[in-house]
A and B are shown apart, each in its own frame.
Chain A
Amino acid sequence: MAIFGAKQVLWRSFTTVASHPLRVCIVGSGPAGFYTAEKILKRHQGSQVDIIDRLPTPYGLVRSGVAPDHPETKNVINQFSRVVQSGRCSFLGNIALGSSISLEELRELYHVVVLAYGAESDRVLGIPGEDLKGIHSAREFVWWYNGHPDGRNLDPDLKSTDTAVILGQGNVALDVARILLRRTSELAATDIASHALTALEQSSIRKVYLVGRRGPVQAACTAKELREVLGIKDLYIHIKEADLKTTPADEPSSGQRELHFVFFRQPDRFLESHDRKGYVSGVHLEKTALKGVGSGKQIAIGTGQFENLSCGIALKSIGYKSVPVDGLPFDNQKGVVPNVKGRVLSDNSGDPTSVENGLYVCGWLKRGPTGIIGTNLYCAEETVASVSEDVEQGVLGAATESNWPKPGREGLLRILEDRKVRVVPFSGWERIDKEEKRLGSLRNKPREKMTTWEELLKAASE
């Protein structure tokens, strides 16, 4: 019964400590990665956990996704730092899965590999004109204003238009709208990237449309974010009366910033500018109606009525998408790794018996790109429960041995040194962190983010 099960796990963990420490590699240092590390360390006292990330900086979307005007949401970084500072877990940055080290190599080096590298790509609309200049994914835009080194050169043109259209009405869409419309004097005291602040200070954008193909009931944003945006000073909010029962009645004064919620419109194609070839000048929208498809779900159906919405910049905030790597089973349709309770399956058939031994997933790569930071708590618990069960039942390593020694961290670092990969340890991040805070204090900001690979790697090694 359960009590014997509990005793068994304890005993196994003890023998593991005595003989071969469980060596775990977690790919991805965002909330999914860190919560997984924390729970593994708790359940397996003698384990050695390494968290690798392709960036020199840890924390994933907590650093590069959470909006600059939401600093409290980033407090969880303190908890994550403590996991590394406990000494049993290492952070190794600037290691890219697939190029610095292959998945196959990692599985040879460690007993357990947990992939928690999230979703660094985007869903596409698949409509004509999608590759016109001036159309960006919200993910790239967020990376840009959050100082992600891969977003540094996005260079969105905020000066040649007064109108931006955002397709999507989730929290990311609201973040983007807020950053575009907030007074830059307020943004100046946040950790927003300097290049973004400069561009926003020179921005001519005064109107933002948040376009959703369904109604307000289906909008994916949550109460806190909606409440926040409705409370921004000097921002005129417009919602069509037909879409809602009540609406603010005041008309905007000229030059005032406006945020329009547009419901029941889906993009049919992007319109190209006549004056500037290759640039977007608007979105051709189709009116939609809702249709129930069973179990309370309603989808949007086109009605054949169209209208145009002019804009000089369009941002697609329709969902992130994960990226597969060599040697990793992947469900292209859903954009996730096929798995059962975090155990990676060998193919997409859903057959729960064909499991990839020692390979697990957690976070967006496992569940799809939805949820908040806290969602990963439960996701990590489920994955770690699977890991612990497998450790207890001796399915890791060889077929019947409970554990055999694996090279782990030492093996990984040796290979990376041979390949001349500049690994950034947590102490390297701490140097970056200190320098960013120092630069920030000169400008009354909590930190001044370093936004290029060169700057980051240099600061990490000084």
Chain B
Amino acid sequence: MSRSSRLKKSSRAHWFNSLLYLITKGPILSLQIMLISRLCRVGVRVAQELSRGGYMYMTRTRYHTQGPCRQYQRPLLELLPETRAFQSAVLQKHHGFSTSASDGASAGGDEEKEAISVTFVSKDGEDIPIRVPIGMSMLEAAHENDIELEGACEGSLACSTCHVIVMDMEYYNKLEDPADEENDMLDLAFGLTETSRLGCQIVASPELDGIRLAIPAATRNFAVDGYVAKPH
């Protein structure tokens, strides 16, 4: 299957993973921008913004203030949650933000040993960078920082509500394989992807420094009477 026809597939998991492949293996940025345009309905605007470097601070700060670029970004971003994930990831590549480099540069080697940097990406595409002490689970860390991650069973592997998506394959591969019990619960999670894990089972350790975790967008149409909402 050619890369472009694979990208046309409608399933989100497929979409996301195809883009991940592009980012890690894709040739040049202009090709990536071209593909962004084709994929996003507002692609040209996005591509322009990207090349202008208007997203410089997107991965860094939580959205508290209105910047000039934000007003362009917000409406575009509302439409396609995956776009933001993609954009953030592309940004890192484009601006040379390798995840280890950006945080490895922080002063104080001791501090690094005690805590790592984790970025949660909320359902609305907001980047929320936090520090997580080594040994703490991502679910616990999310709750400590008022990040909206559900945890119905409070980390006892009896539900799938703390489902998170590891945004970079590189980090996903660093995690220990899930136990059978975790896989049983993941099987029931909504919006499952190839890099999905339960947040209560990801424990902060030094090699996970810089990991980015997306909280899946939860809305899902329940078809009753055969009614199916039009895709948007």
A residues near B, CB below 8 A?
1-3, 70, 72-73, 75-76, 78-79, 222-224, 227, 331, 334, 336, 338-341, 348, 350, 352, 366-368, 372-374, 377-379, 381-382, 385
List residues of chain A with CB within 8 A of the CB of B226: 350
Smallest Cβ-Cβ distance to B190: which chain A residue = A378
Chain B interface secondary structure, helix, strand, loop or mixed? loop
Q: Does B185 contact A (CB under 8 A)?
A: yes
A and B contact pairs by CB, cutoff 8 A, 18 listed: A1-B75, A1-B78, A2-B75, A73-B153, A73-B158, A79-B152, A224-B184, A331-B225, A340-B227, A341-B229, A348-B225, A350-B226, A352-B227, A366-B224, A367-B222, A374-B160, A374-B161, A382-B222
List residues of chain B with CB within 8 A of the CB of A372: 159, 188
Given known contacts A2-B75, A72-B153, A336-B224, is B184 in contact with A222 (CB within 8 Å)?
yes
List residues of chain B with CB within 8 A of the CB of A79: 151-152
Asked if A223 and B184 sit within 8 Å, CB to CB, the answer is yes
Given known contacts A222-B184, A374-B160, A378-B218, is B154 in contact with A78 (CB within 8 Å)?
yes
List residues of chain A with CB within 8 A of the CB of B79: 2
Q: Does B221 contact A (CB under 8 A)?
A: yes
List residues of chain B with CB within 8 A of the CB of A339: 224
Interface code B39-70, partner A: CB below 8 Å = 1, 0 otherwise?
A: 00000000000000000000000000000000
List residues of chain B with CB within 8 A of the CB of A3: 71, 74-75, 78
Q: Does B150 contact A (CB under 8 A)?
A: yes
Asked if B161 and A381 sit within 8 Å, CB to CB, the answer is no
Q: Number of contact residues on B: which range applies?
A: 20 to 34
Smallest Cβ-Cβ distance to A380: which chain B residue = B218
Q: Does B3 contact A (CB under 8 A)?
A: no
Asked if B220 and A382 sit within 8 Å, CB to CB, the answer is yes
Q: How far is the CB of A217 from chain B (nearest CB, A)?
A: 15
Q: How far is the CB of B178 from chain A (nearest CB, A)?
A: 13
Smallest Cβ-Cβ distance to B74: which chain A residue = A3
Asked if A367 and B224 sit within 8 Å, CB to CB, the answer is yes
Contact of A338 among B74, B75, B225 (CB under 8 A): B225
Smallest Cβ-Cβ distance to A62: which chain B residue = B152
CA distance A224 to B221 in the complex (A): 26
Asked if B157 and A350 sit within 8 Å, CB to CB, the answer is no
CA distance A3 to B73 in the complex (A): 10
Of A70, A76, A227, A379, most buried by chain B (CB within 10 Å of CB) is A76
Asked if B78 and A2 sit within 8 Å, CB to CB, the answer is yes
Given known contacts A1-B75, A223-B184, A224-B184, is B222 in contact with A75 (CB within 8 Å)?
no
Q: How far is the CB of A174 from chain B (nearest CB, A)?
A: 13
Q: Does B187 contact A (CB under 8 A)?
A: yes
Q: Does B144 contact A (CB under 8 A)?
A: no
CA distance A70 to B183 in the complex (A): 18
List residues of chain A with CB within 8 A of the CB of B71: 3
Q: Does B173 contact A (CB under 8 A)?
A: no
List residues of chain A with CB within 8 A of the CB of B156: 72, 75
CA distance A76 to B154 in the complex (A): 7
Q: Does B219 contact A (CB under 8 A)?
A: yes
Closest 4 CB pairs of A and B: A72-B156, A2-B78, A76-B152, A72-B158
Q: How far is the CB of A68 from chain B (nearest CB, A)?
A: 14
Q: Does B181 contact A (CB under 8 A)?
A: yes
Q: What 16 new A-B contacts, CB under 8 Å, besides A3-B74, A381-B219?
A: A2-B74, A2-B78, A72-B153, A72-B154, A75-B152, A76-B159, A79-B151, A222-B187, A222-B188, A223-B183, A341-B221, A352-B227, A366-B224, A367-B222, A374-B161, A377-B161
List residues of chain B with CB within 8 A of the CB of A223: 183-184, 187
List residues of chain B with CB within 8 A of the CB of A379: 222
Q: How far is the CB of A277 from chain B (nearest CB, A)?
A: 44
CA distance A76 to B161 in the complex (A): 11
Asked if B222 and A366 sit within 8 Å, CB to CB, the answer is yes
CA distance A405 to B92 in the complex (A): 52
Q: Does B180 contact A (CB under 8 A)?
A: yes
CA distance A366 to B219 in the complex (A): 15
